[in-house]
Amino acid sequence: MDNLREKLTTWHTTKSITLASEICNNLHESDLVDTLFDEVVEWGRDRGINNPAMQFAKLNEEAGEIAHELTRKHLHTDEMADALGDTLVVLIILADILGYDLRECLKGAYDVIKDRRGRTEDGNFIKEENGKDKSGR
């Protein structure tokens, strides 16, 4: 990851097309998301973040920041991006404290929903159960 950061820093000053291609290849070859997840977990552990109740409180605080931006219709702002990123960091650390790898939790959740049937109403998915969606239709 440090090598990639160095390349990005160099690219910001040089705007080299060759270096940009190299960076893209590196991103494609390495799983950046896995690396970031691992770095977040390590960051939390290094700082002794190990209280699940406090981390859950922090998660609610971050979710409140998302709600704050949503209610003001600030959907595409730096503040919204920051709130979403902070929420993800807190959730990754909370999962680690509880002994879970959030990537595996996500995979498990997706495996459950990927073939789910239902309908979308007002931008909300309503799953079908026993031939009827949860609203009884």
User: How large is the average pLDDT for residues 84-88?
Assistant: 94
Structural domains in the chain, sorted by start: 1-30 (no CATH), 36-116 (1.10.287.1080)
pLDDT tens for each residue of 20-33:
777 777 665 556 67
pLDDT tens for each residue of 117-130:
999 999 898 998 87
Residue the block writes with tokens 């459950």: 112
pTM reported for the whole predicted model: 0.71
Residue the block writes with tokens 């190990």: 50
Residues paired with residue 88 on neighbouring β-strands, in sequence order: none
Rounded CA-CA distance 116/14 in Å is: 48
Instruction: Could you list the beta-strand ranges (E) of 8-123.
Output: 118-121
